[in-house]
Amino acid sequence: MSALTTHILDTSLGKPAADVRLLLHKWVDNQPQYLSTHITNADGRCDAPILSGEAFTTGVYELVFDMGNYLRQHYADLPDPLFLDQIVIRFGISSTQDHYHVPLLVSPFGYSTYRGS
């Protein structure tokens, strides 16, 4: 299936990150253009692809993971301001025939991502 999906895992708690808001932008003429907002479910995924169908086109995209509220709700005694609040991942979609999965592995003080399957 040609689509964009994500999955957020809290590596410190060892569980999916539910109720995290994320924004999708596409970069056009060196400027981000807002496309959509999504909320992760209990499995740390969105209920539907973030991008699919005719909207799934090549280009440079950006996912903004709003982790601040999640981290404040699940961890006591975090510093103010948080070390991580919004995590921005900019990536390219070069083929409309492929599935692009952008997982986020996160803790209060670090994160990693990769192109998943």
pLDDT in tens, 71-110: 999 999 999 999 999 999 999 999 999 999 999 999 999 9
What mean pLDDT is reported for the chain?
97
**DSSP strand pairing (100-107 vs 3-10):** parallel
**Confidence label for 18 from pLDDT (cuts 50, 70 and 90):** very high
**pTM score above 0.85:** yes
Mean pLDDT on 56-83: 96
- The answer on whether 111 is annotated among ligand-binding residues is no
pLDDT of residue 58: 97
Q: Is 7 annotated as a binding residue?
A: yes
The reply, when asked if residue 45 is annotated as ligand binding, is: yes
Q: Domains in the chain, start-ordered, CATH in brackets?
A: 3-113 (2.60.40.180)
List the helix and strand counts (H, then E) for the chain: 1, 9
The full 3-state SS of 10-26, as one line of letters, equals ECCCCEECCCCEEEEEE
